[in-house]
Amino acid sequence: MLNAVGLSNPGFEYLLKYGEWQKRTNEHFHISIQLESITWPDTVEEIRKISTLLQKYLPISKYSYDIQLNESCPNTGHSIEIDKNKLEDTKNRLQFFHHLLPNTKIWVKYNALIATDVLRFLKPYCEGFVVSNTIPFGSDCTINWKKWFKNGSSPLPKQLGKTGDEAKKFEGGLSGSIIFPIVKRKIIDIQLADPTLKIIVGGGIMTKKDVNTVLQFSIVKGITLGTVAVLRPGRVNSLTTYANKKFAAKENV
């Protein structure tokens, strides 16, 4: 599935006021956050506001949740290139989140093209990583783009009326079963590089067989379901139940 939707929503404060998260008093859940600020002073202010809202609407004394810091969605302007400065920026954001929310676990969300060394660098500053985001269109040479898309080109810029340099920004991100082999290779790579890393894995998990595939790795602490909820929504409940049973059995071994 190819999309260029980004992280459309009515805003964090609106969602907190809406009250759906507050209904989850008997379960642990995750909240995915994408920071918009570019400069450090603006980032500090944004994180401070997010922390204040969480403490107001979802006090940790009453609710159990972790935060996922989204660092790689291709539809929100994130570059697939991770340089030293960007790594330091991510580290600083994590440290400031921990300063304001010391009892909340923070996970960093990347796609499966992320360099394993990046995860090892950030390991001391977060709980773990969600290796789950879409793959930027055309970015992985192991995908036969011409097989799935005419001339190997994304249809989205044309559909959205985008041309020239602007078109590149709207090529979208790929998800679904096509990217599952990439996700699997990345999990193997991480497992071999550092088996103490914690990973929540997603990206093309469509069947119980896929669940079994990722659960064989000790670093996998959870899974996320995305595309299956859109393409095969009837599978979501059974996959969730199956995965929970498998995780419970894994923890009791």
The answer to whether the beta carbons of residues 174 and 2 sit under 8 Å apart is: yes
pLDDT at 80 > cutoff 70:
no
Q: What are phi and psi of 108, to 5 degrees?
A: -105, 130
Per-domain residue ranges for the chain? Answer: 2-251
CB atoms within 10 A of CB 7: 12
Which superfamily does CATH assign the domain made up of 2-251 to? Aldolase class I (3.20.20.70)
pLDDT at 6: 64
Question: For 140-183, what is each residue's pLDDT tens digit?
Answer: 788 888 888 888 889 888 888 888 888 888 888 888 899 999 99
- CA dist 210 and 177 (Å) reads 9
pLDDT tens per residue, range 128-137? 999 988 888 8
Mean pLDDT (the chain) is 90
Q: Which of 34-38, 139-143, 206-210 has the lowest mean pLDDT?
A: 139-143
Reading the block at residue 35, the tokens are 């920071």
Q: Which of 94-98, 130-134, 201-205 has the lowest mean pLDDT?
A: 130-134
pTM for the whole thing? 0.89
